[in-house]
Amino acid sequence: METLRLSNLSAIEGVQHHIFSRHGGCSQGDYASLNLSLSVGDDDGVVQQNRRMIMEHMQTTCLAFLNQVHGPQILTVDQQSFSNGIPESLYIGTGDAMITDVPGVALVVLVADCQAVLMADPVKRIIANVHVGWRGNVNHILCRTITEMQGRFGCNPEDLQVGISPSLGPCCAEFVKFTHEIPERYWHHKDQQNRFDLWALSREQLQLKGVSPENIHVSGICTRCRTDNYFSYRASKITGRFGAAIQLGGP
Ligand SMILES: [Zn+2]
């Protein structure tokens, strides 16, 4: 099972993260092979088997998922969420960002072109994982996730380390209807072929919120160009979702 890591997040003691590729799982056909999504038409039993495989790989006891909808909700799981113990699989709810201070809970965002934005505060020991499509950029979900981390856990944006997963690159993020979809203040991220640099846009939003530029690591891998390694919705409408996971504690 191949996983990608970002050096700034790897350097934090007591935090583990894994960005899985599409390889190493059991799904067949369009979903081959490490599809982790239960809502794209793949066989549920096989997806559960894939999820158990990443659990083993991470040596974790709990995988937490969202019902991702490109919406505004930010969900937090804290110690009080687990009065009955930590389950193996946790469905946190409908939303596109999750935050936790609980060791042993792996926050998993599923993507195929969108960005999974992994965050860790090594000082306050808080992590977050955010699903960011262009709608998420337009809705300022990164900024609002950090605001929640500040308000609820006292995080300082300057302490945050952030990693951006493989996702649609500036080579492939063409928006034909950008005048309706993307506010004019972001058009400086567009080239002459109406392709947006969404990596730069996320970076700009993070920096405006106070994250240090050197603490933002972008994988720089375009999913649509690299369907050999990742799922891409723009490349094929029927496809799987790969996972990006972050957890406090573990090996
Ligand atoms: Zn590309």
Structural domains of the chain in order of their starting residue, each with its CATH number = 3-248 (3.60.140.10)
Question: What span, in angstroms and rounded, lies between the C-alpha atoms of 77 and 199?
Answer: 28
CA of 231 to the centre of ligand 1 (A): 12
- Ligand 1 centroid to Cα of residue 101, in Å, is 35
Positive or negative torsion for Cα 188, 193, 194, 198 = negative
**Cα-to-centroid distance, 124 and ligand 1 (Å):** 36
Q: CA 151, CA 156: separation in Å to the nearest integer?
A: 10
Rounded distance from Cα 250 to ligand 1 centre (Å)? 34
pLDDT tens-digit profile of 146-185?
Answer: 999 999 999 999 999 999 999 999 999 999 999 999 999 9
Structure confidence at residue 120 (pLDDT): 98
How far apart are the CA of 225 and the centre of ligand 1, in A? 4
227 CA to centre of ligand 1 in angstroms: 10
Q: Are strands 216-218 and 161-164 parallel, antiparallel or unpaired?
A: parallel
Q: What is the pLDDT of residue 137?
A: 98
Q: What is the pLDDT of residue 83?
A: 83
Contact 204, 188 (CB under 8 A): no
Residue 196 tokens read as 């947006």
pLDDT reported for residue 221: 98
pLDDT digits (tens, 9 = 90+) for 109-150: 999 999 999 999 999 999 999 999 999 999 999 999 999 999
41 φψ region: left (φ > 0), alpha (ψ -120 to 50), beta (else): left
| pLDDT beyond 80 at 250 | no
State the Cα torsion 160-250-51-134 to the nearest 10°.
Answer: 0
pLDDT for the residue 132: 98
Distance 114 CA to ligand 1 centre (A): 13
Is residue 32's pLDDT more than 80?
yes
Q: Return mean pLDDT, the chain.
A: 97
On whether the CB atoms of residues 19 and 166 are closer than 8 A, the answer is yes
C-alpha to C-alpha distance for 130 and 107, rounded to whole angstroms: 9
Q: Determine the distance separating the centroid of ligand 1 and the alpha carbon of 223, expressed in angstroms.
A: 7
Residues 61-73: what's their mean pLDDT?
A: 96
